[in-house]
Chains A and B, each alone.
Chain A
């Protein structure tokens, strides 16, 4: 396959990746384990060194483990975080070579062909890796060989380096499990007396293939280099930033806008190919005197349309102090969201026209008062008046459609914090004073009893049950009064339309 130069593959195995990740955050002394809930039982998922010494093992039920080792400390495992951490390690490993792939859930595989001399040889490169990972608090086992299979075997079973050439002499003393075979196959091979890779390699191939299928031989060939095996490097996430350096400094708003317009065209083309939309954009304006200013634009929804974004920049760019002139512009989408391409129909264009205009308006107002200050109401499932709706920023919530606002009883148009009035008894008062007005009850409708939601701790509902009355005053106003029978008192909480 490779004639001129031998391929060299490093396999990194992090035997305690999950627990190391947690312990890096909060170092602990003593046995520690991560637990995972599998079919309603907590089982140990990953253990640290001390816990292993106590005789605990992976897959053990948590209750058993606690009986063996009472001072065991545990936390539940967070698999997505572990995966993210492994991706971070993969990115770190590209410092050694560009061709880095993931190996399962707890390993990396690096194709270091032709890169070892940059670190002073294979041994020094491995020592460097080991030193850096140890400093980061990660335990690692490293294997280096000509093939991916052989390096995996070395990393998992007896660390070591296979010299260039046939890896069989190094591998032949390793158990057959080192060939990345399933547990069942491994057991079956061991029952036949084929315990070492060397035994397997010296056995006749045809009966093996008949007995176990081609899988065993494929893994053996991959380890020994008779069959090729690829390493799939992960693509780096796309970078959404463009810049422009100008031969002569500029200072007019129109010129800066023209520059930003060119950058936006490039950036939006890139965003469109990745089906992403920018949520936050930053223009960095560098002046001749090396000073730089940032203009940030927070959009009410993800966009990748240069014609719509450009006018929104006008306000921010007008405030830039150009000084002696601007000689570099840099545009970066600092926050992006997936934005799928949509079918354009007659109906959607007319609808999107006004919706798009409204979103641009929200963006412009948001630049003035902050996007989180533009709010809309969302329905909530509660009979407590204050909690029967949610307030969410327009920019970060979807429009709820559908008749979820149906309320069996009329509700007031305005709600305010309860304002006490002086009255006694369970019936609404005939006369009362509220906000320095003396009011007379003309008609009272009620009571409507609302009980507090005991599953929430709410200061305002400490007084217990509330009996709500709709009181029409002869002065005209319709007020929403309530009486708290468990803690006598009368309050005004709202006004009806």
Chain B
């Protein structure tokens, strides 16, 4: 039997996408693992939460990961645009904390198209920009049957899709094959 991922994953390359919810970092790392190669993570330097390389080592090699600490959101966007346009990294993740205007969102799309790389914005709820190609909501779900050593069950909901249908999938990270697999929802 072939193990299948969600149908819209990975989302269109050469575009910028948005993801929110408590499971957003997992989505980002799953996407980085899927796209392969180095990953640039842009975030505000004031953020006290630390990304733990021991935590994401099952997803991607920490040697392929670079972190940019910026002063404010304007700088984050400038760095992300530059990296997307350059195309040296297949995935640029930017953690944003303010709503994105249409101009900024469109510029990111153009930069991603020019550089042929994928952009992913980690946003807060209700902060989406109209320019985003897709918007996902990711949240972990408690599974009463499987737990402990198993990876967390996640509910990924495609909230917005400019070129396709929406949907909800229950997924797990499969450590052995290093990919996201679709599973039945908890308790079924």
**A interface residues, Cβ below 8 angstroms from B:** 354, 357-358, 360-362, 364-365, 368-369, 373-377, 379, 385-386, 388-389, 391, 394, 399-401, 405-407, 410-417, 442-443, 445, 470, 472-478, 494-497
CA distance A341 to B45 in the complex (A): 37
Residues in B whose Cβ lies below 8 Å from that of A416: 48-50
Residues of B within 8 A of A388 (CB): 54
Q: How far is the CB of B30 from chain A (nearest CB, A)?
A: 9
B10 in the interface, Cβ–Cβ < 8 Å?
no
Residues of A within 8 A of B70 (CB): 369, 373
- Residues A476 and B140 in contact, CB atoms below 8 Å apart: yes
Which residues of B57-88 have CB atoms within 8 Å of chain A's CB atoms? 57-59, 61-63, 65-71, 75, 78-79, 82-83, 86-88
A-B CB proximity, top 7 nearest: A413-B55, A377-B53, A411-B54, A476-B140, A357-B88, A405-B57, A416-B49
Q: Is B148 an interface residue (CB 8 A)?
A: yes
Q: Are B49 and A415 within 8 A (Cβ)?
A: yes
**Cross-chain pairs A/B with CB under 8 angstroms, 24 sampled:** A360-B88, A361-B83, A361-B86, A364-B86, A365-B79, A373-B69, A374-B67, A374-B69, A375-B68, A377-B62, A379-B62, A389-B53, A405-B57, A412-B52, A413-B52, A414-B50, A414-B51, A415-B55, A416-B49, A442-B144, A445-B147, A474-B142, A477-B140, A497-B152
Residues 111-164 of B at the A interface (beta carbon under 8 Å): 139-142, 144, 147-149, 151-152, 155
Q: Bound complex: CA of A405 vs CA of B64, how far in Å?
A: 13
Q: Which residues of B contact A358 (CB under 8 A)?
A: 38, 88-89
Contacts of A399 in B (CB 8 A): 63
With a 10 A CB-CB cut-off, give which of A388, A415, A417 has the most chain B CB atoms: A415
Taking A365-B82, A376-B67 as known contacts, 14 extra A-B pairs with beta carbons closer than 8 A to each other, sorted by chain A number, are A354-B88, A369-B75, A374-B66, A376-B62, A385-B52, A400-B63, A405-B62, A411-B52, A414-B25, A415-B52, A416-B50, A417-B48, A497-B29, A497-B56
Give chain B residues whose Cβ lies under 8 Å from the Cβ of A369: 68-71, 75, 79
B22 at the interface (CB under 8 A from A): yes
Closest A residue to B67 by beta carbon equals A375
A417 surroundings in chain B (CB, below 8 A): 48
Q: Which residue of A lies closest to B148 (CB)?
A: A445
* Contact across chains for B82 and A368 when beta carbons are under 8 A apart: yes
- Bound complex: CA of A494 vs CA of B50, how far in Å? 9
A375→B25 contact, CB < 8 A: no
B25 with A407: CB separation less than 8 A = no
Q: Say whether B26 faces chain A, with CB atoms less than 8 Å apart.
A: yes
> Is B173 part of the binding interface, using a Cβ–Cβ cutoff of 8 Å?
yes
Residue contact A368 to B78, C-beta cutoff 8 Å: yes
